[in-house]
Structure 1
Amino acid sequence: MISFLLIMNVFTIAVFGFDKWQAKKHRWRISENILLGISLLGGIIGAAAGMIFFNHKVSKKSFVMKFILVVLIDLFLFYRVLRR
């Protein structure tokens, strides 16, 4: 489980960085749903780090609100897994 979470978070920060790079070059972008989806799959720490480190999506309030919801869902699911 720890290995999976580590891989997901490294992957997620890389995806956020790639999307920011694409945005700067005015090229095709990764959809917000994909960014939120990989965050939901265990990459919330990587997503938060990517948002802060790359200054990506932090000024878009609708994305930040959705991301907070994803964090809450992940925390609830993590709690449920630990309780088993």
Structure 2
Amino acid sequence: MKLLFIYLLGMNMAVFFLMGHDKSKARQGRRRVPERRLFGLSAAGGALGAWIGMRVWRHKTKHTSFQLGIPALLLFNAAAVYALIRYVLPLT
């Protein structure tokens, strides 16, 4: 349970700061973080960090794929965490 919490905290912090980093690169007109990477990390447990990053950094908020995709991944993350806690972790 503790490792799950540490993993999710780290993943969400990483995606949050990655969104800020990408926004900074966008302002500078430099090479950006691929959207595929942002979605992949969000799907791997960082959707809450991505969603908060979108709001704080005002980044990717006009992209329909992010407007719909990140909240959907957040629901997916919540369901996965619930399933892990409910069905997998009690067995260990």
Unaligned runs of 5+ in 1: none
Are 2:12 and 2:47, in contact at CA under 8 Å, matched by a contact in 1?
Answer: yes
Q: How many Å separate the matches in 2 of 1:3 and 1:73?
A: 19
| Mapped contact 2:47–2:71 kept (Cα < 8 A) | no
Structure 2 contact 15–49 (Cα < 8 Å) conserved: yes
- From 1, 5, 8, the equivalent of 1:5 is 8
Partner of 1:35: 38
Moved over 4 A (4+): none
- 1:16-69 C-alpha deviation (Å, 9 max, x unpaired): 000000000111111111001111111122111110000001111122222222
Instruction: Give me the identity figure in percent.
Output: 32
Is the 1:32–1:63 Cα contact (8 Å) retained in structure 2?
no
**Count of paired positions:** 84
Taking structure 1 as the reference length, the TM-score comes to 0.90
The structure whose Rg is larger is 2
Determine the C-alpha separation between the residues in 2 that align with 1:42 and 1:55.
Answer: 21
- What is aligned with 1:49? 52
CA distance in 2, matches of 1:41, 1:62: 17
Q: By how many angstroms is 1:15 displaced?
A: 0.5
